[in-house]
Amino acid sequence: MAYSSTFEDALLRVQSFAKRADINAEITEALCHPKEMMSVSLPIRMDDGTKQYFSAYRCRYNNILGPTKGGIRFHPNVNSDEVQALALWMTIKCAVLDIPFGGAKGGITVNPKDLSPMELERLSRAYMRAMVNFISPHRDIPAPDVNTNALIMAWMLDEYESIKREHSPDVITGKPVELGGSLGRDDATGRGAYLCTLELIKVMGWSPNNLTVAIQGFGNGGYHIAQLLEKVGCKIVAVSDSQGGIYAEEGFHIDSLWQEKQRSRQVRAVYCDGSVCELINHHPITNAELLELDVDILIPAALEGVITKDNAHQIKAKAIVEIANGPILFEADDILASKGIKVIPDVLANAGGVTVSYFEWVQNRSGQHWSLDDVHQKLKDKMIDAFSQVWTLAEQKNYSLREAAYINALNRISTATSKLGTHHYFKQT
């Protein structure tokens, strides 16, 4: 079956891995259909007095393991197909980490850079007004995603509490710490991927010293994993953003790159000592060229579908760590496997964010506030345990890490679903 949409590509993996693991066909079919999908138009009064309409979505994909959980993204390419795919991946991700959540996702079709701060607030509050009966602490819990942050979550929380007339910090995660957010949420996605990468380095018998790393996407997740890997001795030789990338064989000083990106909004090769920065030698590269660099570890941390059957043969990395959602299409999996490339899949590698969101929800519901050390240790325990389970299954059954992660998740979902009765049960009675 040819790839034609993000959601279809996500379904191909579920169907393929479910068949290999002999998952009940009724349960597999249920996972091919989202539970609920909300589509709305948000009318917003702009600063110049005009009114514009923005398409907005929220998908609750599957809630067999608990209330649904998933971020809200603001991006020009947001559409119902993408939202459903992301919600399906979140369903698998929560099951891989054994977190008592189902999967959800939401978004608005907008370029937030085109809006003033006040327009952005109106849009954020309008989204919550439209979704207020779709969302609740026991039903569906949003969080930040692409182009959204703690401030936007604070506006949405405030709108929800104003409508419901009750204090409900557990209705949304990724909030400012002062409003009930959790310490450690800001770097959770990158840290979770870093912990998985360290485990891969250990089981492969590598030393982190001077391992070369290329990172496509120098946003929050890409920056934090780069910073953490640099600290253990890895050499970050290439980074990129939407405008392009840079490469230097001797590697970059990550905090200097990040400081310059915040200052100039560009990925530029600099070394900073305090407030003094100087340019260092580097080569400009495209995002496509970055993917094909001869490095030890490739980290796609930007967009979906960047590695396909057309460029998979040119990938030279020994391992890939997916921080982006769905950066490798289903059609490329077998090609990468045939080249012996280990892939830590997105449903494991980028699960640090939803894991710390779960910790935040638990703290809100119990009235606790954990220290940063507590959060980091709990995240480490969760990520290492999940990686260990996936690696062990992969080794025992000769699965890829992606197959093992999905099959672990599908088995958990299948076991829970079967307790409600399936065709097999009713046919026997």
CB contact at 8 A, 25 and 14: no
Strand 276-279 to strand 297-300: parallel, antiparallel, or no bridges (unpaired)?
unpaired
Measure the N-to-C terminal CA separation of the chain; round to a whole number of Å: 37
Distance CA 201, CA 191 (A): 15
Q: Which residues contact 292 (CB under 8 A, 6 or more apart)?
A: 311, 314, 315, 316
Please enumerate in sequence order all residues whose Cβ is within 8 A of that of 206, keeping only pairs 6 or more positions apart, or say none: 296
Q: Which amino acid is at 136?
A: S
Catalytic residue among 105, 175, 342, 382: 105
DSSP 317-350: -SEEE--SSS-B-HHHHHHHHHTT-EEE-HHHHT
- CA angle at 208 for the pair 207 and 211, rounded to the nearest 5°: 105
CB 100 within 8 A of CB 65: yes
- Angle, vertex CA 151, rays to CA 367 and CA 354, nearest 5: 60
Report how far residue 68's alpha carbon sits from residue 140's, in angstroms, rounded to the nearest whole number: 5
Q: 65 near 87, Cβ under 8 Å?
A: no
What is the distance between the alpha carbons of residues 346 and 272, in angstroms, rounded to a whole number? 33
User: How far is residue 219's CA from residue 237's CA, in Å, rounded to a whole number?
Assistant: 16
- Selection from 57, 82, 214, 212 nearest residue 142 by Cα: 57
Q: Which amino acid is at 94?
A: C
Structure tokens at 303: 């967009």
Interstrand relation of 244-247 and 212-216 (parallel, antiparallel or unpaired)? unpaired
Token representation of residue 214: 């290329």
Q: Is 236 left (phi over 0), alpha (psi -120 to 50) or beta?
A: beta
Whether the Cβ atoms of residue 24 and residue 414 lie closer than 8 Å to each other: yes
- Catalytic residue status for 202: no
State the catalytic residues.
Answer: 105
